[in-house]
Structure 1
């Protein structure tokens, strides 16, 4: 069994245990009451922003794909993204990412290794601005009490990891390249490929648009959470939406489950607990938000699959192999 799969299974078990603990402690009547009082107009707004964000993410990926093939159609890129989301909803371990790569490769006639690299660069650009979001939130947003302590620990942890990587890379880079440890070679190759691709974006004048769409995507994701807070009549500061967004993504990074069930909810519940929101309200907010993000994408992705005749079940093996290549590349 691959180490990543073993780690995913272990993290899944932990998520299930923590989630079961939350369900054990909640009061069902309070949960139902929280859902019954929802302002559905805000829920609809959150769903519309989510669909708009998918279009923004498609523009970002298209700009990266254009560096390996000119004339790639936006329609095919957004269809590939939707097929990938559909796959991640019905399959575990991010198989949908492999389906996304495979779909675009076949639809646009691009070699799979080239599409894989565009996916990696797209993911890296997203991560870069996610780290920037953590830094900006920790330094410039007003925080207090437990929220400030937790967030500063998070900021310290991210800074420490980056520092250790830089120090390790410097120390292990001494001597002949053939004597470098395997992880150092992999890191060096990744950095080299990242810089090559980044220069390609600069030459193609696509880097600015990639950066702007990455920033806009994170803004939209924060607005989705903000709208959901309004739907549940939570009078929270704007920073609560940002912290909710960060905690959700940390939860998603911890475990790969179909439709990100468990990690998504735990991330938002943990964020809302920092602002003294009742567990029942926090959990109901997380569940409705998750449904708003998943159901429309599932239906539209399913429609794309029916229209194109793409069969994710038959291509699951190929998608899993591609997904393993993505793990190695990232």
Structure 2
């Protein structure tokens, strides 16, 4: 590991000042991704700004509904929070699908969002990688691609973003709150991560001197149902081959609002807007769900080695939407009898 300078600021403004002052600085929170990359020689910061002690570890209700989640809230604590479990089950389930219990006890909300979009070649410094060294090439193209993208990839990168939490936040239409030298700005979660294009080394729209301070969730939608399903090679400590986060409102058998996001298929959480458009205003039927999945997958482009992914995503999306329809029906029946629908 290369020598580096270690700083431990006591407030967010000081942390931002350090990030701004040192071009080779990076923020450290739980360290579950950054420390691994430093050990491998992939990340080589000159200055490590430890933000784990900043007082940004609370989950607070917002005026008018919704939640503000501090950047240092641990993944395990957020998944277990009563309001997250009751009002945002898609987020709780996504968090519990990530990594392992040990890592969830360390990983933070902000750090989860900032983990690198990566593949095995990115982590192997002996191979060319445009994310690690722009202009050197993409070793994944023509290589091992089981986990790689089928949406939005480019000739420079076909890696996929690994976060489960970020997929749920995209479906929930959350907002990422960041602090920079010019003050706070708010970024929709669906716009926070980037597709690779010709700059695959840039995972997010975050500026070098900006720090995530919170994530805000909108008020829960009355009557909505949501869930997260992850398909992976083993039950724990594995990235998604494909995943689906869905948030539906169904009224009298008709989908009145649909939000669907997919993981394991693109350089960022992939919002399935074509599928949403197809099912909104339609009866919640398997036929409609299949049509929606087909509309989204019409633009999928697999590469040699992951040709199975579009079909797997199609089956997963349909299954999730069917499960939510059944859940909405059970809630409606319970509500009609005066029972607690939760």
More helix, by proportion? 1
Higher RCO (CA < 8 A, seq sep 6+): 1
TM-score strictly above 0.5: no
Measured against the shorter chain, the TM-score band is: under 0.3
